Structure 1
Amino acid sequence: MNQIAVFASGNGSNFQSLIDAEKRGELQAQVKLLVTDRPDSYVVFRAKREGIPVFAFRPKEFENKSQYEKVIIQKLQEFQIDFIVLAGYMRIVGKDLLEAYPNRIINLHPSLLPAFPGKNAIEQAYLYGVKWTGVTVHFVDAGIDTGPILLQEVVEIRDEDTIETLEERIHQVEHQLLVKAVNLVFDPSYQFIERAK
């Protein structure tokens, strides 16, 4: 069975959606490890409740990104991790992790990339006044939300929406799309072709 590590920094609802899909037999992978840069975040509670090992670190305790990523890589190797899923991980992945897991890191982003990359994407789309936004799962490269797109799903921004109601609907789509994306990368018939730059 393919073994994945989920990286998350907050509430962990997408982490939970992967765990729940695995329990239902709907995930073509096993969640073996949670990696978080926020030891006090709710996702840690979720992982402990589900019996998933947690590697929590505080970036400020390291001299630089390379130093803590080398420690993360050691932990990933210890757990024989095949693939990394970023699900609300609020740090930019550095060179060390990218080189250790080339084309084996995907990220969940709450917009239709390339529109609204970076932080606060839901709020950005809402305030900009677009009629449609959505969810993207993409491969991670050295840029910020610039990697090749794996899956996308559109979410309408309704006239009556608030940022909170839009966020809630986007989260519902995220939970389903992330499971689909993980299954897709482990589907032997799937051939990933990198889009032209």
Structure 2
Amino acid sequence: MTVLSLVVLISGGGSNLRALLEAAADAEFPARVVAVGSDTDAPGLAHAEEFGVPSFSVAPTSFGSRDEWGAELLAQVRRWSPDLVVCAGFMRILPPVVVSALSPALINTHPALLPAFPGAHAVRDALAAGVQTTGVTVHVIDEGVDTGPVIVQREVRVEPGDTEAELHERIKTVERELLVQAVLDIANGHVDLKETAAR
């Protein structure tokens, strides 16, 4: 069995990270999280500590430019020689130097059915648009904002009277499942990221 090594990048609570760590705790799961990175002192780094996974933080405020920050972030990621880098609730747009170095082995989860509702407020935007269905996308990261090739999507129904928090919570449940499945499919060769990126 080929086992993928993952570096996971987070900015917040790390619920997607935890889903991957729990999946990888099963010896039969063909991927392992080798390091967790963040752009902040993210609460989700506690999950890495709990599972005994090394972590690092590269704060943009410590650098004179976005490109300098990106170069250091890339250097930290490359220390672990990952097969795949997963942005799981990482809330910053990666500089081109990072994307060109890592993509297509660089994926992201997004709480909408892209290309609908890109950007940081996807759940709020879906509610404002009055759609009956939104969902989750796992996609390859390119240099745009949520514009990369789609790997997999799953729908989530918008219920009457949903608040942003309620809808986002249901989306997160699906997002965790879909991310774990996407990593499994990449590890098993059911998804070829180079082919996906070439579409």
Q: TM-score, normalised by structure 1?
A: 0.93
Aligned pairs for 1:15-30 within 5 A: 15-25=17-27, 27-30=29-32
Deviation track 1:18-58 (CA, whole Å, cap 9, x = no partner) reads: 0011113463211011110011x211122112211111121
Separation (CA, whole Å) in 2 of partners of 1:155 and 1:177: 12
Question: What percentage of aligned pairs have identical amino acids?
Answer: 35
The residue number in structure 2 matching 1:109 is 110
Separation (CA, whole Å) in 1 of partners of 2:189 and 2:12: 32
Identify if the C-alpha distance between structure 1 residues 2 and 194 changes in structure 2 by more than 3 Å, giving closer, same or farther.
closer
Identify if the C-alpha distance between structure 1 residues 127 and 189 changes in structure 2 by more than 3 Å, giving closer, same or farther.
closer
Q: Given the alignment of the two structures, is residue 143 of structure 1 paired with residue 123 of structure 2, yes or no?
A: no
The residue number in structure 2 matching 1:52 is 53
Q: TM-score, normalised by structure 2?
A: 0.92
The residue number in structure 1 matching 2:181 is 180
Aligned residue for 1:42, secondary structure, equals coil
Deviation track 1:53-92 (CA, whole Å, cap 9, x = no partner) reads: 1111210110112212222222222212121100110110
Paired amino acid for 2:133: W
Contact 2:10 2:90 in 1 (8 A): yes
Separation (CA, whole Å) in 2 of partners of 1:125 and 1:135: 12
Separation (CA, whole Å) in 1 of partners of 2:168 and 2:196: 31
- When structure 1 is superposed on structure 2, of 14-23 and 95-104 the one drifting more is 95-104
Contact 1:87 1:107 in 2 (8 A): yes
Identify if the C-alpha distance between structure 1 residues 121 and 65 changes in structure 2 by more than 3 Å, giving closer, same or farther.
same
Separation (CA, whole Å) in 1 of partners of 2:9 and 2:122: 19
CA RMSD of aligned residues (A): 1.5
The residue number in structure 2 matching 1:37 is 39
Contact 1:137 1:152 in 2 (8 A): yes
Identify if the C-alpha distance between structure 1 residues 193 and 168 changes in structure 2 by more than 3 Å, giving closer, same or farther.
closer
Q: For structure 2, which runs of at least 5 residues remain unmatched after alignment?
A: none
Aligned pairs for 1:61-140 within 5 A: 61-140=62-141
Paired amino acid for 2:70: E
Number of corresponding residues: 195
